[in-house]
A and B are shown apart, each in its own frame.
Chain A
Amino acid sequence: MTVPLGGALLAGAAVTALIIVLLVAVAAVHLVRSRRAERDELRKRRLMPLVHAVLDDDPVDSIPLPDVLAAPAELDAIVLDLLPQLRGSDRETLRGLLAERGVVARAVTDLTARRSWRRGRAVSLLGSAAGTHHVAAMAALLADRSLEVRCAAARALGKAGDPGAVGHLLHATAGERALPKGVVGMALLDLGTTVLPVLRDALTDEQGTARGLVAELLGVHGDPSAAPALEDLVRDAGEDLGVRRSAAVALGRIGSPTSTEPLVAALTNSTDPRLQRTAAEALGRIGDPTATVPLLAGLADDDIAVRAACADALAALGAEGRASLEEVADGPGAAAPVARAALDELDGPVRRPQQAGAA
């Protein structure tokens, strides 16, 4: 019994010692951190006028360069904080300041650092501070071994604003070290409308995930020249359902009346309620009254979400859709409740069932 007892005593003592070390460390860190936070706050406040002067359009007494270069490192933190909130000439000015201070050069060396967070921070910094320089080095990190770094690289490429990064980003959605779709999507959106032609081509060239994403983005941009290709995708019954849904959503956002026909076909012929629902929603957004009849038919669909989407779409079709919806709402049919709910959405007076038992 004495051997385990001795062991336990020893273990107990060791654990207690560990607790004490931990507590002392905690107390020390707490004190140091609180002091440092206060000090940093103070320094930042002192540096603010310098940032203001740099950003001033028409400086009374222009700041001599050495002042900016000699300022402590907190200045970089302020500028990096401020950078994403500003645009235009303000952003350019701040970018110039960071380059002058050597922050950009340091980040470039850090792109190959051993620690993943260093690489990630470096690429994020370059994205917001370096413009279109260093894009190749940043794109190389899209294949980094750490997922977090890959995501940071994608975000940074979006912010850097070089349209040449589109190909890299789209290819990063597939393969062993794939990036999540949403991260790539946001980066592509950040690149703005200059990349639309490349995206349109990608709609036919790329594979599964990438195409669905591209369809979605073209919709967000509301690009009318993409409508024909998107309509083809919605029509193609052999196409992946997710891609067809994304294409339908995009057509709704683009709002071209030529899309009514394929969307009506999808609503009427598809057996996937989710595609039917997106098609109905898109028809509502387009607002073409020729969709009235198929949408009315959709009010009798088996799926409750499809019925609700059709009713909302009818309410959005202007006077004609609204009139037909009112007819249904006042009638005895099973579709009356959804119709009434959709009419309520139009801010009108609340409608009650008119016949007893109608609801």
Chain B
Amino acid sequence: MSEVFTDIVLGASWTVLGYTLLMDTIMFTLVLLGARRVAEARHWKGAEGHGEIFASPLTPAVSLLIPAHDEEAGILDTLRAALGQRYPSLEVVLVDDGSTDRTFELVAERYRLTEINPRRTASLPVNGEILSVHRATTGDPLVVIRKSSVGQKSDALNAALNHARHPLVCMLDADSLLEEDALLRVARPFVEDPDNVIAAGGVIRAANGALTDRGTVVEPRLSRNWLVRIQAVEYLRSFLLGRTGWADANALLIISGAFGLFRRDLVVEIGGLDHRSLGEDADLVVSMLAHQQRAGAPHRVVFVPEPVCWTEVPETLRVLGRQRRRWSHGLAQLLWKHRRMIGNPRFGAVGTMALPFFLVFELLGPVVEIFGLASVALAAGLGILDLGIAAVMVGLALAVGTLLSTTAIAVEVLTYRRYRRGRDLLALVMAAVVENVGYRQVHAWFRLRGLMAALARRKPVWTAMPRVGFSGDPAPAERLVPLG
């Protein structure tokens, strides 16, 4: 056995370990900062003035844009929740993106749709064919656009943007459940600071397992599926991260496509959503920031640290893998498209902090992780691995990872307390431990494949996730209206 080769393998293992610890430390710092801010915000509870915004004539009207492809299971609930938002003035623009099921028929029947001549407010390019435009005759502010699908959510959203008439647009996934005040909370920054705010987003959580009733979450509960539980922890953690320095430094990039609010004129100005992008939501935020920065115009992207939207997350590894591959692919596209911004101080904290962080830890993370696992395996195979040292190091990495998630859970308990049941909290803590063994590695593999797909410039495909719907037939558990 060559001495050099042994050194390389061992060196690689150590590098990977160091990288993992560094990443966890950075994340932990961010989580702590976030926790501090959340705790601070708690003291203000009740003194923020939501009521005023609800009743103010200065509150801008919102167009809720909902792309739907084969969503018959949950579409009526989603529409009901959207139209039932506690918000002074809104319209819903639903795009039936080539559904082959009864999505359109259900909506047409419930809202007594009538066909109208389309009233377009913008002319963004749309690849699919617009088949017809309808309006509700039940008095609900609902417009439905039927178009042929080209397999892209961005295309459906651009079609909706062409017909939206209000100054703010909110993009909503058809499988999301909104809290009643969701729009009001996320629109608040626009009302208060209309000259500067260009986008705002809120906290998104995993909805699976929650007790729901026709489109609203009655009581959040945790699913019995471990994959879902781990994702619930992931969501808690990542939104707590988003709550931190990123937003304060005006470096917030990800306003999730599951629930984000944007200034319509700006979205139209930059040409709508990028057809080629798989991460159209993140790409939109970065493009808007870049556009404003180049134009020398003021811009703030605001993160509202309150849970507003509950989304259905994948329940099987296969679907999860598809989703995460797509995300990673989208991130790679985004970083490549905006590569001139990375490290560029002209773009402020987005250029110097956020984009480099995403590049080094999000995009390249899986490469290092998989590489590290391989080298450890190799070292073990060659018999040059000191099992004692390896065990201690792996243990340390595991502990730090768990600490990260536990902190996120602690913040949840100390502040929002959306999960009321003790056993849900216990399950969350267990999931936080389990996540580090197995899930994390499989996840890295999914992301790596997404990155490779991006490198191979494979044509992106938007595949919808199979939906269970939110209030269908009761599935196996003791819940009233389970998510399955």
Question: What residues of chain A have their CB less than 8 Å away from a CB belonging to chain B?
Answer: 1, 5, 8-9, 11-12, 15-16, 18-19, 22-23, 25-27, 29-30, 33-34, 84, 115, 117-118, 120-121, 124-125, 148, 151-152, 155, 180-183, 185-186, 189-190, 209, 216, 220, 274, 304-305, 308, 311-312, 337-338, 340-345, 350-351
Taking a contact as CB atoms under 8 Å apart, the answer to whether A12 and B47 are in contact is no
Bound Cα distance from A18 to B404, whole angstroms: 11
Taking a contact as CB atoms under 8 Å apart, the answer to whether B407 and A22 are in contact is yes
On chain B, the residues within 8 Å of A118 by CB distance are: 43
Q: Which of B58, B118, B429 is close to A220, meaning CB atoms less than 8 Å apart?
A: B58
Bound Cα distance from A304 to B123, whole angstroms: 7
Distance (whole angstroms) from the CB of A359 to the closest CB of chain B = 8
Question: What residues of chain B have their CB less than 8 Å away from a CB belonging to chain A?
Answer: 40, 43-44, 47, 49, 51-53, 56-58, 114-123, 135, 190-196, 265, 386, 388-389, 392-393, 395-396, 399-400, 402-403, 406-407, 409-410, 413-414, 417, 420, 422, 425, 429
* Closest 10 pairs (CB-CB, A-B): A180-B193, A117-B43, A341-B119, A340-B117, A15-B399, A124-B47, A341-B117, A12-B396, A182-B192, A344-B116
Taking a contact as CB atoms under 8 Å apart, the answer to whether A8 and B392 are in contact is yes
Minimal Cβ-Cβ distance residue in B for A1: B389
On chain B, the residues within 8 Å of A151 by CB distance are: 192
Given contacts A117-B40, A117-B43, contact A15 B403 (CB under 8 A): yes
On chain A, the residues within 8 Å of B40 by CB distance are: 117
Taking a contact as CB atoms under 8 Å apart, the answer to whether A308 and B121 are in contact is yes
Q: List 5 A-B contacts (CB under 8 A).
A: A30-B425, A115-B43, A182-B58, A220-B58, A304-B123
On chain A, the residues within 8 Å of B122 by CB distance are: 304-305
Taking a contact as CB atoms under 8 Å apart, the answer to whether A183 and B192 are in contact is yes
Given contacts A84-B51, A155-B49, A341-B118, contact A189 B410 (CB under 8 A): no
On chain A, the residues within 8 Å of B195 by CB distance are: 180-181, 209
Distance (whole angstroms) from the CB of A124 to the closest CB of chain B = 4
Bound Cα distance from A344 to B396, whole angstroms: 67
Taking a contact as CB atoms under 8 Å apart, the answer to whether A152 and B58 are in contact is no
Bound Cα distance from A351 to B116, whole angstroms: 8
Bound Cα distance from A274 to B266, whole angstroms: 12
Minimal Cβ-Cβ distance residue in A for B426: A27
Given contacts A84-B51, A148-B44, contact A350 B395 (CB under 8 A): no
Bound Cα distance from A352 to B27, whole angstroms: 59
On chain B, the residues within 8 Å of A186 by CB distance are: 49, 52-53, 56, 58, 191-192
Taking a contact as CB atoms under 8 Å apart, the answer to whether B43 and A121 are in contact is yes
Given contacts A181-B194, A183-B192, contact A26 B409 (CB under 8 A): yes
Given contacts A30-B413, A120-B47, A121-B44, contact A189 B57 (CB under 8 A): yes
Taking a contact as CB atoms under 8 Å apart, the answer to whether B393 and A8 are in contact is yes
Bound Cα distance from A220 to B52, whole angstroms: 15
On chain B, the residues within 8 Å of A155 by CB distance are: 49, 52
On chain A, the residues within 8 Å of B409 by CB distance are: 26
Bound Cα distance from A305 to B122, whole angstroms: 6
Taking a contact as CB atoms under 8 Å apart, the answer to whether B392 and A189 are in contact is no
On chain B, the residues within 8 Å of A23 by CB distance are: 406, 429
On chain B, the residues within 8 Å of A216 by CB distance are: 58
On chain A, the residues within 8 Å of B44 by CB distance are: 117, 120-121, 148
Taking a contact as CB atoms under 8 Å apart, the answer to whether A189 and B58 are in contact is yes
Taking a contact as CB atoms under 8 Å apart, the answer to whether B53 and A18 are in contact is no
Taking a contact as CB atoms under 8 Å apart, the answer to whether B425 and A342 are in contact is no
Given contacts A182-B193, A185-B58, contact A337 B117 (CB under 8 A): yes
Distance (whole angstroms) from the CB of A242 to the closest CB of chain B = 8
Distance (whole angstroms) from the CB of A141 to the closest CB of chain B = 13
On chain A, the residues within 8 Å of B403 by CB distance are: 15, 18-19, 22
Distance (whole angstroms) from the CB of B403 to the closest CB of chain A = 5
Distance (whole angstroms) from the CB of A189 to the closest CB of chain B = 7
Minimal Cβ-Cβ distance residue in A for B413: A26
Taking a contact as CB atoms under 8 Å apart, the answer to whether B43 and A19 are in contact is no
Minimal Cβ-Cβ distance residue in A for B162: A304
Taking a contact as CB atoms under 8 Å apart, the answer to whether A30 and B192 are in contact is no
Taking a contact as CB atoms under 8 Å apart, the answer to whether B396 and A11 are in contact is yes
On chain B, the residues within 8 Å of A305 by CB distance are: 121-122
Taking a contact as CB atoms under 8 Å apart, the answer to whether B120 and A29 are in contact is no
Distance (whole angstroms) from the CB of A47 to the closest CB of chain B = 18
Known: A220-B58, A344-B135, A351-B117. 17 other contacts (CB 8 A): A5-B392, A12-B399, A19-B402, A19-B403, A30-B422, A34-B420, A115-B43, A120-B44, A121-B43, A148-B44, A181-B193, A186-B58, A304-B123, A305-B122, A308-B119, A337-B118, A345-B119
Bound Cα distance from A312 to B120, whole angstroms: 12
Given contacts A15-B400, A305-B121, contact A29 B58 (CB under 8 A): no
Given contacts A8-B396, A30-B422, A304-B121, contact A341 B116 (CB under 8 A): yes
Taking a contact as CB atoms under 8 Å apart, the answer to whether B396 and A26 are in contact is no
Taking a contact as CB atoms under 8 Å apart, the answer to whether A350 and B389 are in contact is no
Bound Cα distance from A12 to B422, whole angstroms: 28
Distance (whole angstroms) from the CB of B471 to the closest CB of chain A = 28
On chain B, the residues within 8 Å of A148 by CB distance are: 44
The winner among A22, A27, A312 for most chain B CB atoms within 10 A is A22
Bound Cα distance from A12 to B392, whole angstroms: 8
Q: Which of B115, B196, B414 is close to A29, meaning CB atoms less than 8 Å apart?
A: B414
Taking a contact as CB atoms under 8 Å apart, the answer to whether A344 and B414 are in contact is no
Minimal Cβ-Cβ distance residue in A for B400: A15
